[in-house]
Amino acid sequence: MILIDEPVWPAHATVWAHLVSDASYAELHAFAKAAGIPPRAFDNDHYDVPRERWNELVERGALPVTGRELLRRLQHAGLRVRQKDKSPKDPRSAH
């Protein structure tokens, strides 16, 4: 299932939500591609999405959950990448 948390993470003049799958990265990437989310928005285990797209992504089928629930489900699925294990992002691909 595709999950989205509340947009509360400030950066780059907006706030951001996290879009994840609790089933597979393949499901997550397919959803993101269909929604037109650019690959550069992917950050190891989630996509960062701006508040402006939140309602649209929920209408497309993302289930709204709290940040805590999103993390719990991602960990339970074995898809969570811990902060210390994340690969560095290319600075050219920032939001």
Q: Which pairs with CB-CB distance under 8 Å and at least 24 residues apart come from 60-66?
A: 60/31, 60/34, 60/35, 61/2, 61/31, 62/2, 62/3, 62/4, 62/19, 62/31, 63/1, 63/2, 63/3, 63/4, 64/3, 64/4, 64/5, 64/6, 65/3, 65/4, 65/5, 66/5, 66/6
Exposed, middle or buried by CB within 10 Å (0-12, 13-18, 19+), for 9?
A: middle
pLDDT digits (tens, 9 = 90+) for 49-85: 999 999 999 999 999 999 999 999 999 998 888 766 5
In tens, the pLDDT along 8-30 reads 988 888 999 999 999 999 999 99
Query: What pLDDT score was predicted for residue 79?
Result: 87
**What per-residue confidence (pLDDT) applies to 89?**
58
Mean pLDDT of the chain: 89
pLDDT given at position 11: 87
